[in-house]
């Protein structure tokens, strides 16, 4: 005798009631008409938004794809049909031995920013979730970097990292960590670190904001119960805090990761992708192809490749988040 | 209305000249208005590239001359050959006007060609008992003696930047070598070029590391850099020096057997605009090129205008350095590629040379090895 395997309902899933909503064809005619009328009204009210989204997103995307499929030097974006349709740009991009390096550097930069920014954000969120004197003053200060434009942050860090007069070298020399000045931004060994640091400084407040908002929603009784049960601060974190913020943390990591992967504002003013391509990520490479070398088609193809990589990352991250939601 | 974006629209003395010229042009042509407005230099070429690509072209096109061939090669600029033939520009202009030619046709009028000048801080040279250097070796020896305690013997762009190309090429060309020949062969790994690269490397070893040109200027004007090489347009910057430093800042011929020269900026007409507007734009360019306005250019900007005999006695009385600037401009050998294909792909060539400059500045790799790699990469770039 076989038995139907019992499925455990996923967390968060609605309990089965034994009833399902009627399909469109099962509805009485009057209800069907009403449903159609409501749907039409819904689309009507949505149409301005859809039109704006279509103009702002779909059209530029169409132009970018079209541009990436046109051969030759493209001198007129409004007359792309002058250039023949071809996959040459993709062939050039995917056959370029430098592309792997650009992708690796983009990933190194992304991980180099997201991991420390998340760690700092989490630490500060946990700290700011506790009551202590001066918390009201410190909270806005912690979030301040998020309000500063990226280019301004870059300019400030460019001076801090200045090889001759920068405060970073001064402090390191003062504590005896270095004997002579380090040219942070023009040395291939240190340039990536020098562009990661300001990006971390800019992005960590976002994690603080998201995680702190999530922590505020954790009932204090849970912590009290854990303390009564004799849980150490670490166990309280792993068994109460982390489960409560895990979903928000996953989403914040995904959103930040994709933002950082395409980041331009920090790298370009600081190093322009140099020295010798040491900080040339995909975003910088696209810029250089388009505006330094006038290779519009190649730049567009690289942009589409970057979008595809972001899409793959988003898909993988989405799966992880869905697992969290259940 | 003639639209005229320019990074010089709010640039001190150049702005004065443009505005005077526009006033005169509008007086002669009351039916035409010229709309001069400023765009930042750092993003100027990018912004113009986007506008041309989108077929939104200003009627008067002002360009950094190094980018002119790239714009012309894409069909964005109108050929001016026929119009120029009806003027005396071909006979009276600096030989550097040749960089405006593509496929035997001129696509613009050069507004400033110059020879590199040595700017030096006399007090810092005297502090180590050095004379004004007449050779690159003397300059490097003086720089080595000066460097220390936060003072640097030489100043240059030591961070990755398009200026790396011009500064590196100035040493190579000044030494009598070249990165490429007019027939399209690259010579970056020749013995003479390697010697020039080595001079560049040794001079920049005495410069603050990781700085852009703006920081270099600031350090020179505050007395922390003893010597630098630049065009005549840097002279106006000396007014911004501190009171204690200003009297000691002087100019001299660049310490090379050959004067390395550069082209600064040029004026053009876009291709495919309304014929009436094209005519008005040409009238504007023609007015700018007249002897009267070329002399005014020299007087106002303290830069030698491209038209011969534009340096007047009055201008020299006010700015004695003009005589030297004019001599250097007349002697100058361009640091930019002469071959058309190289000029059309200057962006990529500049990028490769900038990477080599970074290697020379920041690594211990031998100069010969860096030169060999530079040679290979330049060849590959033109073959791709």
Strands B260-268 and B109-115: antiparallel
Rounded to an integer, the average pLDDT of B190-212 is 95
Confidence band (pLDDT; 50, 70, 90) for B169?
very high
B310: helix, strand or coil: coil
pLDDT at position B269, please?
97
pLDDT at position A22, please?
65
Rounded to an integer, the average pLDDT of A44-60 is 89
| A111-115, A135-139, A306-310, B336-340, range with the lowest pLDDT | A135-139
Backbone angles phi, psi at B262, to 5 degrees: -130, 165
Cβ(B265)–Cβ(B41) under 8 Å? no
C-alpha dihedral, B358 to B359 to B361 to B367, nearest 10°: -140
**pLDDT at B30 exceeding the cut of 90:** yes
Rounded to an integer, the average pLDDT of A263-267 is 91
- B76 contacts in A (CB within 8 Å)? 75
Inter-chain contact B209–A181, Cβ cutoff 8 Å? yes
pLDDT at position A38, please?
86
Strands B117-121 and B105-106: unpaired
Structure tokens at B147: 């460097």
Degrees (nearest 5) of the Cα angle B329, B330, B333? Answer: 75
pLDDT at position A12, please?
41
8-state DSSP, B86: T
Distance between CA A26 and CA A231 in Å, rounded?
55
pLDDT at position A325, please?
53
Confidence band (pLDDT; 50, 70, 90) for A65?
very high
**pLDDT at A84 exceeding the cut of 50:** yes
Inter-chain contact B358–A75, Cβ cutoff 8 Å? no
- Alpha-helical segments (H) within B54-190: 68-73, 81-85, 89-92, 122-127, 136-146, 163-174
Rounded to an integer, the average pLDDT of B163-173 is 95
pLDDT at position B157, please?
93
Tell me the pLDDT tens digit for each residue of A149-207. 888 899 899 889 988 788 999 999 999 999 888 889 988 899 999 999 999 999 999 99
B327: helix, strand or coil: helix
**Most confident residue range from A49-63, A204-218, B21-35, B297-311:** B21-35
**Most confident residue range from A99-108, A211-220, B333-342:** A99-108
What residues contact A72, with CB distance under 8 A and at least 6 apart? Answer: A83, A84, A297
Distance from CA of A97 to the nearest CA of B (A): 13
What percent of chain B is predicted at pLDDT more than 90? 76
What percent of chain A is predicted at pLDDT more than 70? 90
Report residue A109 CA to chain centroid gap.
Answer: 12
Distance between CA A196 and CA A116 in Å, rounded?
10
Strands B260-268 and B333-334: parallel
Structure tokens at B359: 């290697």
Mean pLDDT of chain B: 93
Structure tokens at B155: 């100043």
- B359 contacts in A (CB within 8 Å)? 276
- A277 contacts in B (CB within 8 Å)? 355
What number of CA atoms fall less than 13 Å from residue B247's CA on the CB side? Answer: 3
Report residue B357 CA to chain centroid gap.
Answer: 18
Structure tokens at A247: 């979903």
Inter-chain contact B53–A161, Cβ cutoff 8 Å? no
- A78 contacts in B (CB within 8 Å)? 54-55
Cβ(B324)–Cβ(B47) under 8 Å? no
Q: Report whether the peptide linkage leading into residue A208 is cis, meaning its omega lies within 30 degrees of zero.
A: no
pLDDT at position A14, please?
43
Rounded to an integer, the average pLDDT of B228-245 is 93
Rounded to an integer, the average pLDDT of A86-109 is 93
B157: helix, strand or coil: coil
Q: Does A271 touch chain B (CB under 8 A)?
A: yes
Cβ(B259)–Cβ(B328) under 8 Å? yes
What residues contact B125, with CB distance under 8 A and at least 6 apart? Answer: B131, B132, B142, B146, B226, B227
Percent helix, percent strand, percent coil in chain B, to nearest 5: 55, 15, 30
Confidence band (pLDDT; 50, 70, 90) for A10?
very low
What percent of chain B is predicted at pLDDT more than 70? 100
Degrees (nearest 5) of the Cα angle A165, A167, A170? Answer: 80
pLDDT at position A7, please?
42
Q: Does A89 touch chain B (CB under 8 A)?
A: no
Distance between CA A293 and CA A287 in Å, rounded?
9
DSSP B1-67: -EEEEEGGGGSHHHHHHHHHHHHHHHHH-TT--EEEEE--GGGHHHHHHHHHHTT---SSEEEEGGG
Q: Does A157 touch chain B (CB under 8 A)?
A: no
Distance between CA B156 and CA B215 in Å, rounded?
9
Inter-chain contact B70–A163, Cβ cutoff 8 Å? no
**pLDDT at A25 exceeding the cut of 90:** no
pLDDT at position A321, please?
65
Inter-chain contact B208–A277, Cβ cutoff 8 Å? no
Q: CA of A314: how far to CAs of A28, A52, A203, A218, in Å?
A: 41, 24, 19, 28
Nearest CA to B96 out of B116, B112, B80 is that of B112
Find the closest chain A residue to B206 by CA distance.
A164
Interface-testing mutation among A64, A183, A280, A299, with chain B (most B C-beta atoms within 10 A): A183
Helix (H) or strand (E) run with residue B351 in it: helix B346-362
Q: What is the pTM of this model?
A: 0.78
More confident residue, A12 or A154: A154
Rounded to an integer, the average pLDDT of B165-193 is 96
Nearest CA to A289 out of A276, A275, A301, A278 is that of A301
Rounded to an integer, the average pLDDT of B303-313 is 90
Rg (CA), chain B: 21
Q: Does A272 touch chain B (CB under 8 A)?
A: yes
The closest CB to that of B362, out of A162, A187, A293, belongs to: A187
Tell me the pLDDT tens digit for each residue of B261-271. 989 999 999 99
B267: helix, strand or coil: strand
Distance between CA A235 and CA B310 in Å, rounded?
83
Mean pLDDT of chain A: 85
Q: What is the 3-state secondary structure (H, E, C) of chain A?
A: CCCCCCCCCCCCCCCCCCCCCCCHHHCCHHHHHHHHHHHHHHHHHHHHHHHHHHHHHHHHHHHHHHHHCECCCCCCHHHHHHCCECCHHHHHHHCCHHHHHHHHHHHHHHHHHHHHHHHHHHHHHHHHCCCCCCHHHHHHHHHHHHHCCHHHHHHHHHHHCCCCCCHHHHHHHHCCCCCCCCCCCCCCCCHHHHHHHHHHHHHHHHHHHHHHHHHHCCCHHHHHHHHHCCCCHHHHHHHHHHHHHHHHHHHHHHHHHHHHHCCCCCHHHHCCCCCCCCCCCHHHHHHHHHHHCCCHHHHHHHHHHHHHHHHHHHHHHHHHHHHHHC
Distance between CA B39 and CA B24 in Å, rounded?
23
Burial class (CB in 10 A: 0-12, 13-18, 19+), B370: buried
**pLDDT at A6 exceeding the cut of 70:** no
């Amino acid at each position: 005798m076989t038995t139907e395997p019992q499925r455990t309902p996923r967390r968060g899933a609605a309990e089965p009631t034994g009833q399902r909503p009627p399909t469109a064809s099962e509805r009485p005619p009057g209800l069907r008409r009403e449903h159609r009328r409501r749907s039409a009204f819904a689309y009507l009210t949505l149409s301005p938004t859809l039109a704006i989204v279509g103009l702002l997103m779909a059209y530029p995307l169409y132009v970018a794809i079209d541009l990436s499929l046109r051969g030759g030097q493209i001198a007129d974006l409004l007359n792309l049909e002058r250039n023949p349709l071809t996959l040459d740009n993709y062939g050039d991009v995917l056959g370029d031995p430098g592309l792997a390096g650009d992708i690796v550097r983009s990933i190194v930069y992304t991980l180099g920013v997201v991991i420390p920014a998340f760690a700092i954000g989490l630490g500060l969120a946990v700290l700011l979730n506790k009551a202590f004197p001066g918390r009201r003053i410190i909270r806005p200060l912690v979030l301040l970097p998020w309000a500063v434009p990226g280019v301004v942050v870059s300019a400030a860090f460019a001076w801090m990292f200045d090889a001759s007069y920068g405060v970073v070298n001064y402090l390191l020399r003062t504590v005896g960590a270095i004997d002579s000045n380090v040219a942070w931004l023009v040395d291939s060994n240190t340039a990536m670190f020098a562009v990661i640091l300001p990006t971390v400084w800019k992005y960590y407040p976002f994690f603080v904001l998201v995680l702190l908002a999530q922590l505020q929603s954790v009932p204090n009784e849970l912590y009290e119960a854990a303390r009564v049960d004799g849980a150490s601060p670490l166990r309280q974190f792993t068994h109460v805090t982390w489960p409560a913020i895990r979903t928000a943390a996953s989403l914040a990591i995904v959103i930040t990761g994709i933002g950082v992967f395409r980041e331009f504002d920090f790298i370009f003013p600081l190093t322009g992708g140099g020295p010798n391509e040491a900080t040339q990520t995909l975003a910088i490479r696209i810029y250089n192809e388009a505006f330094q070398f006038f290779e519009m088609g190649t730049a567009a193809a690289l942009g589409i490749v970057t979008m595809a990589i972001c899409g793959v990352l988003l898909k993988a991250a989405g799966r992880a988040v869905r697992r969290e939601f259940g | 209305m003639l639209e005229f974006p320019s990074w010089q629209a709010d640039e001190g003395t150049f702005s004065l000249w443009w505005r005077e010229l526009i006033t005169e042009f509008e007086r002669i042509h009351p039916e035409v208005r010229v709309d001069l407005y400023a765009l930042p230099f750092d993003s100027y070429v990018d912004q113009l590239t986007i506008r041309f690509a989108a077929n939104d072209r200003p009627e008067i096109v002002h360009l950094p001359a190094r980018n002119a061939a790239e714009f012309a090669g894409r069909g964005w600029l109108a050929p001016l050959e026929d119009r120029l033939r009806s003027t005396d520009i071909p006979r009276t202009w600096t030989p550097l006007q040749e960089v405006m030619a593509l496929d035997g046709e001129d696509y613009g009028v050069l507004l400033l060609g110059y020879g590199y000048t040595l700017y030096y801080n006399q007090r810092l040279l005297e502090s180590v008992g050095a004379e004004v250097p007449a050779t690159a070796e003397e300059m490097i020896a003086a720089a080595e003696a000066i460097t220390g305690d936060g003072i640097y013997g030489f100043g240059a762009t030591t961070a990755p930047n398009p200026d790396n190309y011009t500064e590196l090429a100035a040493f190579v060309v000044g030494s009598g070598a070249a990165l490429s020949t007019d027939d399209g062969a690259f010579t970056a790994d020749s013995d003479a070029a390697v010697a020039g690269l080595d001079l560049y490397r040794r001079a920049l070893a005495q410069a603050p590391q990781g700085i852009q040109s703006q920081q270099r200027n600031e350090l020179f004007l505050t007395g922390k850099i003893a010597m630098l090489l630049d065009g005549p347009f840097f002279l106006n910057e000396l007014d911004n020096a501190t009171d204690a430093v200003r009297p000691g800042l002087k100019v001299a011929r660049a310490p090379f057997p050959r004067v390395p020269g550069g082209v600064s900026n040029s004026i053009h007409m876009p291709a495919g605009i309304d014929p009436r507007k094209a005519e008005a734009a040409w009238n504007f360019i023609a007015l700018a090129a007249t002897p009267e306005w070329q002399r005014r250019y020299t007087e106002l900007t303290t830069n030698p205008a491209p038209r011969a005999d534009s340096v007047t006695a009055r201008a020299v009385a006010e700015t004695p350095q003009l005589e030297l600037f004019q001599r250097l401009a007349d002697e100058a050998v361009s640091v930019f590629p002469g071959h058309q294909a190289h000029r059309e792909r200057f962006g990529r060539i500049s990028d490769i040379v900038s990477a080599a400059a970074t290697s020379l500045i920041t690594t211990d790799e031998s100069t010969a090895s860096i030169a060999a790699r530079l040679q290979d990469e330049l060849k590959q770039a033109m073959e791709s």
